[in-house]
Amino acid sequence: MITVTEALDAIFKLVGPLGTENVRLAEAAGRVLAAPVIATRMQPPFAASAMDGYALNGVEADPEAMFRVIGESAAGHGFDGRVGPGECVRIFTGAPLPEGTNRVIIQEDTDRKGNLITLARKLDKGPHVRPAGADFKPGDTIPAPRVLTPADLALAAAMNVPNLTVTRKPVVALLATGDELVMPGEAPGPDQIIASNSFGLKALIDANGGHARMLPIARDNADSLRTAFELATDADLIVTIGGASVGDHDIVADVAAELGMDQSFYKVLMRPGKPLMAGRMGDEAMIGLPGNPVSSMVCGHVFLIPALRAMLGLGASAAPRKTARLAHDAAQNGQREHYMRARVDGDQITIFDSQDSALLSVLAQANALAIRPASDPARSAGDEIAYLQI
Ligand SMILES: Nc1nc2c(c(=O)[nH]1)N[C@H]1C(S)=C(S)[C@@H](COP(=O)(O)OP(=O)(O)OC[C@H]3O[C@@H](n4cnc5c(N)ncnc54)[C@H](O)[C@@H]3O)O[C@H]1N2
Ligand code: MOO
């Protein structure tokens, strides 16, 4: 059996950055920027007022000095003339500073009578002016690759770039297998359960930049599985769920091999998730997840999300690990790296007692997967251990 690191490296050999497409700003949130955004203008394009008040020449701004108001500069409607000694212009936030001015006195510090203002006895330092290009200049960039945040999109809009080049979303075909499965909302027979894994995995994939497509459930026979695989040929990645172990009905590996799957590995030294497999099927990468609900989700965090990030051009790296202090003693670990459902509060981590890989209710209470390395000795309360945030 290979280690988690070796398995992840093998998966990185199966996937690589996808092509790009252009999307409008309004559709770009959360997408991965593939080419830098380059500003085509300066912001602000002129020295602009940061306050509502009066624009004047700062050297004249003595306490209680008087000025004649000769016009107005509003956002979108500047003042055309020049401001001379003893003169000022009524100005509003965002408006261009008129020629001859370099300071704005906030209106609270003025007393206006007709066309005359008198400055207050105490004035703040000001100058309440945003210099031209203070935010960005032509040629300034938003670097790629990066996951586009709301702030990035506001900045790209201000830069007057209406379309962005992003990495195509990886299409992931989710193929659940098993005679026991029916879809949520259907009436299960006495020996049946509800297919749950595809829903958790779809959420995980979609939240991490992919587009998950759920295929019809394949039954535990070769014909049904073959038909389902054929529906997945347009995907970048096929993810099967279940049928991966050694039972008589676990036929995913056999059918995939018959369809030409070139297997990279089968079985990983981890818990849960041991019967994981991966390989290449034609143009597509294929990852076979174990059926136990928690095993499939743990493999989603440990392998699928990093694979998606690699396809999105965000680099080939393992899920980031954090550390916290154990809130209790923990027994020594076995020979497989163990990903244990846990709860992190502040800098403390509490590992749940029940770790059966069928228990989704325990996964739903967890916000972390505590990682116990293979053969890790017993640990004491207060020891630092690694975890994945989930
Ligand atoms: N003799 C051995 N038996 C098992 C071994 C082993 O090494 N030797 N490994 C165990 C481990 S570890 C795992 S994990 C499971 C993996 O089994 P499969 O990948 O073949 O999965 P299934 O048998 O199809 O299903 C297991 C379990 O999960 C339920 N399941 C499957 N798909 C779904 C789904 N989409 N939604 C909800 N639940 C699902 C299924 O009903 C089973 O209860 O094998 C162990 N056995
Ligand atoms: O490895 Mo299985 O995934 O322990 O439950």
Q: Please compute the mean of the pLDDT values over residues 96-104 and round it to a whole number.
A: 98
Lowest mean pLDDT among 249-253, 328-332, 349-353: 249-253
Q: Which atom of ligand 2 is nearest to the CA of 298?
A: 3
**ipTM greater than 0.90, yes or no?**
yes
What does the pLDDT look like over 33-70, one tens digit per residue? 999 999 999 999 999 999 999 999 999 999 999 999 99
pLDDT score at 249: 83
Lowest mean pLDDT among 76-80, 88-92, 249-253: 249-253
**CA 12 to chain centroid:** 20
What share of the chain has pLDDT > 70, as a percent?
100
Lowest mean pLDDT among 69-73, 246-250, 337-341, 377-381: 246-250
Q: In what order do the strands lie in the sheet with 284-289?
A: 211-214, 171-176, 237-241, 284-289, 277-281, 262-266
DSSP code, position 359: -
Please state, in angstroms and as integers, the Cα–Cα distance from residue 92 to each residue in 99, 174, 224, 362, following that order: 15, 56, 70, 57
Written as one string, the DSSP assignment of 309-351 is: HHHTTS-S-PPPPEEEEESS-BPPP-SSEEEEEEEEETTEEEE
pLDDT score at 354: 95
Q: How confident is the model at residue 355 (pLDDT cuts 50, 70, 90)?
A: very high
How many angstroms separate the alpha carbon of residue 243 from the centre of ligand 1? Answer: 7
Calpha distance 325→166 (Å, rounded) = 39
DSSP code, position 268: B
Beta bridge partner(s), residue 372: 338
Please name each of the domains of the chain with its CATH number.
4-17+169-311 (3.40.980.10), 20-43+147-167 (3.90.105), 48-130 (2.170.190.11), 322-389 (2.40.340.10)
Q: Please compute the mean of the pLDDT values over residues 76-90 and round it to a whole number.
A: 97
pLDDT score at 140: 98
Show Cβ contacts of residue 239 under 8 Å, excluding neighbours closer than 6 positions: 172, 173, 174, 175, 201, 286, 287, 288, 289, 304
pLDDT score at 247: 85
How many angstroms separate the alpha carbon of residue 31 from the centre of ligand 2? Answer: 33
Q: Is the CB of 295 under 6 A from ligand 2?
A: yes
Q: Is 201 exposed, middle or buried (0-12, 13-18, 19+ CB in 10 A)?
A: buried
Torsion-angle region of residue 28: left (phi > 0), alpha (psi -120 to 50) or beta? alpha
Q: Please compute the mean of the pLDDT values over residues 344-365 and round it to a whole number.
A: 97
Residue 297's nearest CA partner among 196, 370, 207, 213 is 196
* Residue of minimum CA distance from atom 4 in ligand 2: 272
Is 143 in contact with 137 (CB distance < 8 Å)?
no
Q: What ligand is nearest to the CA atom of residue 356?
A: 2
pLDDT score at 353: 96
| Residues listed for the chain | 390
Q: How confident is the model at residue 383 (pLDDT cuts 50, 70, 90)?
A: very high
Is 290 in contact with 275 (CB distance < 8 Å)?
yes
Per-chain mean pLDDT for the chain: 97
Written as one string, the DSSP assignment of 72-101 is: EEBTTB---SB--TTEEEEE-TTPBPPBT-
How many angstroms separate the alpha carbon of residue 349 from the centre of ligand 2? Answer: 22
pLDDT score at 245: 86
Q: How confident is the model at residue 250 (pLDDT cuts 50, 70, 90)?
A: confident
The answer to whether the Cα torsion of 99, 103, 108, 113 is positive or negative is negative
What does the pLDDT look like over 165-208, one tens digit per residue? 999 999 999 999 999 999 999 999 999 999 999 999 999 999 99
Is the link from the previous residue into 45 a cis peptide, with omega within 30 of 0? no
Please state, in angstroms and as integers, the Cα–Cα distance from residue 83 to each residue in 55, 72, 136, 228, 280, following that order: 9, 11, 28, 76, 73
What does the pLDDT look like over 361-378, one tens digit per residue? 999 999 999 999 999 999
pTM of the model: 0.93
Q: What ligand is nearest to the CA atom of residue 337?
A: 2
